[in-house]
Amino acid sequence: MTKKHKKNEVCLSIYADSKNSDLLIRVVDNESLKVIKVISENDLLDIKDEINEMVDKLIIPP
């Protein structure tokens, strides 16, 4: 018996928080239309370094 894996598609929306004027990214599941996560501008800056490190590990020097 094989198990089919469901492909989750999400939608990203960028909006400004009116309280502190931060940019926020809302991640919404396309099928259920539920908000999965809200990412703040500061969170993006925090993970930026981690993403850059991962990319650096993938790049093979000439």
DSSP secondary structure letter of residue 21: -
- Residue 44 within a domain: yes
In this predicted structure, the answer to whether residue 50 has a pLDDT above a threshold of 80 is no
d(CA 55, CA 62): 15
In this predicted structure, the answer to whether residue 1 has a pLDDT above a threshold of 50 is no
- Residue 2 within a domain: no
- Looking at 1-62, list the stretches that DSSP marks H as alpha helix, in order from N- to C-terminal side: 41-58
- Residue 39 within a domain: yes
The two beta strands, 10-16 and 23-29, are antiparallel
- Residue 33 within a domain: yes
pLDDT, tens only, 37-46: 888 888 887 7
CB 42 within 8 A of CB 22: yes
Domain that includes residue 54, residue range: 10-58
Instruction: Please give the tally of structural domains in the chain.
Output: 1
- Residue 1 within a domain: no
pLDDT, tens only, 8-21: 788 888 888 777 77
Q: How confident is the model at residue 7 (pLDDT cuts 50, 70, 90)?
A: low
Place of tokens 């093979």: 60
Place of tokens 């981690």: 50
54 or 1: which leads in pLDDT: 54
